[in-house]
A and B are shown apart, each in its own frame.
Chain A
Amino acid sequence: MKKILIPISLLLLALFLPELVGRNPYFTGIMINVLMMASLASAWNIPGGYAGQFSFGHAAYFGAGAYTTLILLSGNPIDPLLALLAGVVTASLIALITGSIVFRLRGHYFALASIAVAEIVRLSVLNLQFTGGAQGILLSDLTFHGIDLNSKIPFYYGMLMILVLSMGTTAYIQSSRMGYYLQAIREDQDAAASLGINVALYKNRALLVSAALSSVTGSLYGLYIRFIDPGAVLDLRLSIEIILTAIIGGVGTIWGPVLGAILLVPLAELLRSNVIGDTLISMGIVSDVSPVGHFFKEGLAHAHVLVYGVITVVCILFMPQGVLGITRRRK
C-alpha cells in the first residue's frame, strides 16, 4: 500500500504544482526543466544504470527528436504529434545503427562510440542546409488542437506526461525478465551470456527504448522553446549533465534520476541567476571587492557544470549509490 501511496501523492503534488506557484512563468519554467532532466536521466538510466552501458552521447537522441520535429513543422501545417513520432523514428534509427555496430565489441567501446556518434550528428546538423546550420531553426507559429501554446502550462503537463512515461517504462522493465537480464549484463557479460542471455540483443533493446524516450523529450522541448541550434540541443555538455543527474540521484533505480534532477536543476538555476553570490555578499560573508567575492559574483554563474563535477566526485567517493542510496542504507 505504502508503495503506491508515495508515487500517487507525488503525482498529485506535481499536478497541482503550477497552481501552487500561482502559474508563475519563472517557476513553471524551472519546473519544466526539472521534469525534462528527470525524464532524460530516467531514459539514460535504462541502458546506463540497469545494463551498465554508459552512453556519453544522449544529446544525439534528444537533438534528433527536437530537430526532426521542428524541421517538419516549420512551413508544414502537420500535426505536432506526427512530427514528434517522426523524431522517435529518427532517434531510433541512430540508436539501432550505433548499437548494432558497437555492441558487438566489449568494454568501454560503447561509451567512446556514443561520443563519436553524437559528435557526428552535431557536426552534420551544423553543416547541412536543411537543418539551418549554426543559425538553428526558429518555429514562428504553432497550433495544437486549440490549446494556448504561448503559456508554459501545457508544456509543464506535457513534460510531466513524458516523465511518467519514462518512469513507467523503467518500472515495467525492472519488474520483467528484461530488467533482470539488463542487470545481469551489467554485473558480468560473460556469465550473462552463459546463462542464455543474448547480450547484444538486450543492450540494443535498452538503447532503443532509451533513445525513443529521449527523442520525445527533445521534441517537446523544441516545441516549448521554438528555437533550437546545435549548441543548445546537441552539445556534449548536455549529454554529461544527463549522466551526472542520473549518477548523483542514483543509477539503476526508478527514483534516482528523478531525485537527481530535483536536486541539480534548481541548483544550476541558483548558480546561473547569481542568487548564491548575491546572498553571500549582501550578508557580508564575503566582500564583493575580494577575489572570492568577485568569483561568486562574476564566475560562479558560468561554473554550474564545474559545480556538478565537484558534486559528482564527492558522490562517487562518499555515496557511490547516489543520494537515493543513502536513504536505502539507513532503512
Chain B
Amino acid sequence: MEPLLTIDQVTRRFGGNVAVSGVSFSVMKGDITGLIGPNGAGKTTLFNCMTGYISLDAGTIIFEGRRINGKRPDQMCRLGMVRTWQRVKPLGKLSVLENVMIGAFVTTASPKVAGKASLEQLQAVGLDRYADQPAGTLPIGLKKKLELARVMATRPKMVLLDEICGGLNHAETESVLDIVRMLRKRGVTILFIEHDMKAVTSICDRIVVLSSGEKLAEGTPEEITSHPAVIEAYLGGGYHAQG
C-alpha cells in the first residue's frame, strides 16, 4: 500500500504558542485514518495547514508524490483533497441542491450537468427530498450530511472530515458513519478528526493521536486503545474501566 498524503515535520506557531510541533505521519490510499487528541491538541490547526487555510512555519506536505505547501484551498480541492468543517458552513440562502452543485462545478462548467450529478449525490446521502429548501433551514444532522454530499460532488481523492459526528445523536452518528463507509467503498481516502471514540475505533483502519501539538502515538485502533500514554493523555481512566 502506498501513502496518498504524507506530512513531514509540520510546525505551526501562533505567536509564542506552538500549535503543531514537528508532526509527521502518512495516510495510506483507501484507508480511513483517525486523527484524535484532546481539545487544543492541534487537530484543526493541522487540517487548516493541510488544506491551505493557514501557512506552515516548517515542514512539508506531500499529496500524490507532489509537494503542496503554500497552495490555496481551491487549488487543494482541485487536486482532489477536500475538507468539511467542524462548525458546518452551509451556503445558507442557496438551496440544498445548489450547495451540492457548487461542489460539482469542479468537474463541469454546465449548471445542467452539475445539477444532475448533485441530485445523485443528494440521493446517495438521503437528502434529495430537501433539494429545493434553503440550506440554512436544515437541522444540524442534515447539514452535516449536506457537507458530505457537497464534498462528494467534487469527486475527491481524499476527504478531511473535521468532527463530522460532533453534536449528533446516536442514530444520526450511525447514518453519517454509513455515508463515510460508502465514501470509502467508492475508493476515497479519508482522514477523520473525531471526539467520539466509539465512532473512531469502529470505523478507522489506523489512528494518529495528537497531544499538545505533538504526535503521541500511531497505530491500529486496538494498539491505540491499549497504549498507556494515550489512555493517560486522552481517554482517561473512565474509558479504560468501560473497555
B40 close to A (CB within 8 Å)? no
Interface residue A295 (Cβ < 8 Å from any Cβ of B)? no
Do B111 and A197 touch across chains, with their CB atoms under 8 A apart?
A: no
Q: Which of B53, B94, B102, B150 contacts A197 (CB 8 A)?
A: B102
Residues of A within 8 A of B77 (CB): 193-196
Within the assembled complex, what's the spacing in Å between the Cα atoms of A188 and B147?
13
Tell me the complex Cα distance, A183–B134, Å. Answer: 13
A-B residue pairs in contact (CB < 8 Å), sample of 24: A176-B111, A177-B114, A180-B105, A181-B102, A183-B91, A184-B94, A184-B102, A187-B90, A187-B92, A187-B93, A188-B91, A188-B92, A191-B85, A191-B91, A192-B91, A193-B74, A193-B77, A194-B77, A194-B82, A195-B77, A195-B82, A195-B151, A197-B74, A197-B102
Interface core residue of A175, A184, A199 (most chain B CB under 10 Å)? A184
Considering only residues 147-187 of chain A, those with a C-beta below 8 Å from chain B are 175-177, 180-181, 183-184, 187
B98 at interface by CB-CB < 8 Å: yes
Q: Is the CB of B72 within 8 A of A198?
A: yes
- Residue B144 interfacial (CB < 8 Å): no
**B6-25 with Cβ < 8 A to chain A:** none
Docked CA distance A196–B74 (Å): 4
Evaluate contact between A195 and B92: CB separation under 8 angstroms. no
Which among A175, A191, A193 has the highest number of chain B CB atoms within 10 Å?
A191
Chain A min CB distance to B73 (Å): 4
B92–A181 CB distance below 8 A:
no
Q: Does A190 contact B (CB under 8 A)?
A: yes
Chain B residue contacts of A184, Cβ below 8 A: 91, 94, 102
Interface contact A194-B93, CB-CB below 8 Å: no
Residue contact B72 to A180, C-beta cutoff 8 Å = no
| Min C-beta distance of A50 to chain B, whole Å | 11
Nearest 4 A/B pairs, CB to CB: A187-B91, A191-B89, A196-B77, A193-B73
A193 to B74 CA separation, bound complex (whole angstroms): 5
Q: Is B106 an interface residue (CB 8 A)?
A: yes
Is A194 within 8 A of B51, CB to CB? yes
**Are A190 and B53 in contact (CB-based, < 8 A)?**
yes
Known A-B contacts A177-B111, A180-B105; the reply to A193 vs B94 at CB < 8 A is no
Q: Number of B residues whose C-beta is below 8 Å from A?
A: 29
- Judge if B37 is at the interface, Cβ distance under 8 Å: no
Extra contacts, 6 of them, besides A195-B150, A196-B154 (Cβ < 8 A), are A187-B90, A188-B92, A191-B85, A193-B53, A195-B82, A196-B77
**Count, chain A residues at interface, CB 8 A:** 19
Cβ B73 vs Cβ A194 within 8 A = yes
Closest B residue to A252 by CB, please name it.
B93
Q: How far is it, in angstroms, between the C-alpha of A183 and the C-alpha of B98 when the chains are bound?
A: 10
Question: Nearest A residue to B77 by beta-carbon distance?
Answer: A196
Kindly list chain B residues whose C-beta atoms are within 8 Å of the C-beta of A180. Answer: 94, 98, 101-102, 105, 111
Chain B residues within 8 Å of A187, by CB: 90-94
Question: How does the 8 Å CB contact mask read for B83-105 relative to A, with 1 for contact and 0 for none?
Answer: 10100011111100010011101
B201 smallest CB distance to A (angstroms): 28
Residues of B within 8 A of A197 (CB): 74, 102
Beta-carbon nearest neighbor of A188 in chain B: B89
Q: Which residue of A lies closest to B88 (CB)?
A: A191
Assess A183 versus B74: contact at CB under 8 Å? Given A175-B111, A176-B111, A196-B105.
Answer: no
Output the nearest chain A residue to B82 by Cβ-Cβ distance: A194
A183 touches B93 (CB 8 A): yes
- Bound CA span A262–B138, Å: 37
Q: Kindly state whether residue B241 has any CB partner on chain A within 8 Å.
A: no
A188 to chain B, nearest CB (A): 5
Which A residues touch B85, using CB under 8 A?
190-191, 194
Q: Which residues of A contact B111 (CB under 8 A)?
A: 175-177, 180
Interface flags, A191-212, vs B, CB<8A=1, else 0: 1111111110000000000000
| Closest A residue, CB atoms, query B91 | A187
List, in ascending order, chain B residues with CB within 8 A of A183's CB.
91, 93-94, 98
**Please, which residues of chain A bring their CB within 8 A of the CB of B154?**
195-196
Q: Select the residue from B89, B101, B109 with max chain A CB neighbours within 10 A.
A: B89
Q: Are B109 and A177 in contact (CB under 8 A)?
A: yes
Residues of B within 8 A of A198 (CB): 72, 74
Within 8 A of A (CB), among B30-83: 51, 53, 72-74, 77-78, 82-83
> Closest approach, in angstroms, between the C-beta of B52 and any C-beta of chain A?
8
Bound form: Cα–Cα A181–B109 in Å? 11
How far is the CB of A181 from the nearest CB of chain B, in Å?
7
A177 CA to B83 CA, complexed, in Å: 21
Shortest distance from the beta carbon of A278 to any chain B beta carbon, whole Å: 44
Distance between Cα atoms of A198 and B114 in the complex (Å): 18
A194 is contacted by which of B83, B92, B94, B101 (Cβ under 8 Å)? B83
Query: Within the assembled complex, what's the spacing in Å between the Cα atoms of A195 and B89?
Result: 11
Query: What is the 8 Å Cβ interface bit string for chain B, positions 123-153, against chain A (1 contact, 0 not)?
Result: 0000000000000000000000000001100
Residue of chain B at shortest CB distance from A200: B72
